[in-house]
Amino acid sequence: MNQPNIAKLPHARIAYYDIGEGKPIVLIHGFASNARVNWIGTNWVKVLNEAGYRCIALDNRGHGESEKFYEPHQYGPDIFARDAADLLDHLGIQRCAVMGYSMGARITAWLCMHHGERVTKAIFGGMGARLVAPPGNYENIAAALETDEPDTIADPGGKMFRKFADATGSDRMALAACIRPSRQRITEGDVAKIETPVLVAVGEDDDVGGSPQVLADLIPGAKAVSLPGLDHMKATGAQPFKDAALDFLKGAG
């Protein structure tokens, strides 16, 4: 796979892959991941290309090959969503489908809420009821990313994301700044205003994302899919997730 393209957008330099032909779909990865890990390495791009979709998979700011920032105020779902909308402008795409996983689903929700005219269909992967839940203790994750002694990390969530960040070769200081604004909350009232057709797909053993049905019940007309036997990490590229997404994308609406 070639190196990503670099778009010099109004607020950041964003790396992205533009692969295939057909209807465009934007793919937004999760925290501590990147486009290559989340979408290319899992064969998502291959499957979508074969189904007739042009895949635009970006590295969120602070991740992958995109520009890194080191202050918490330079991150947040609103800022990530603005970058994605700016990338659509850069590519001359007015409207398209968007799929996000985990943090990427949060960004996709923000796009639906504040740039809904740009999104034809939305898929929230790996993020159900937790999307609208009170913020967790993200400071523990930030501290786990910042420490030079990973063997001392006691917090399970911090340990998981530290291992993932190390495995993906991520800039840990940029990720620590990124996770702190996750306290910015999307409310039940916010998602109730979404008019975009939405699929919520979460592994049935996913304690990070929470119930897909609880979230779908809050969004008018949304569909929920529980992926049997899968947790947050295993569901990312699982075939049942791909099957549900493709069925949703080709359906009416």
**Residue 175: CA count within 13 A, CB half-sphere:** 29
**Average pLDDT for 198-216:** 97
Tell me the C-alpha distance between 75 and 12, whole Å.
Answer: 11
**CA angle, corner 87, sides to 81 and 91, nearest 5?**
150
Model confidence at 126: pLDDT above 80: yes
Residue 135's pLDDT is what? 78
Mean pLDDT of the chain: 95
Distance between CA atoms of 225 and 213, rounded to whole angstroms?
A: 7
Of the candidates 126, 132, 104, 114, which has an alpha carbon nearest to the alpha carbon of residue 196?
114
Give pLDDT tens digits for 152-193.
Answer: 999 988 999 999 999 999 999 999 999 987 667 899 999 999
CA within 13 Å, CB half, 2: 8
CA dihedral 148, 151, 157, 162 (to 10 degrees): 40
For range 32-45, the mean pLDDT: 97
Pairing mode, strands 198-203 and 223-227 = parallel
More confident residue, 203 or 2: 203
Give the model's pLDDT for residue 1. 58
> What is the pTM assigned to this prediction?
0.96
- 18, 123, 130, 156, 204 from 54: Cα distances, Å: 7, 16, 30, 37, 30
| Whole-number Å distance between alpha carbons of 184 and 131 | 11
Domains and CATH numbers, the chain: 5-133+185-250 (3.40.50.1820)
Residue 34's pLDDT band, with cuts at 50, 70 and 90, is very high
Instruction: Tell me the Cα Rg of the chain.
Output: 17
Q: Are 210 and 136 spatial neighbours (Cβ–Cβ below 8 Å)? A: no
One-letter amino acid for residue 244 of the chain? A
- pLDDT(204) > 90: yes
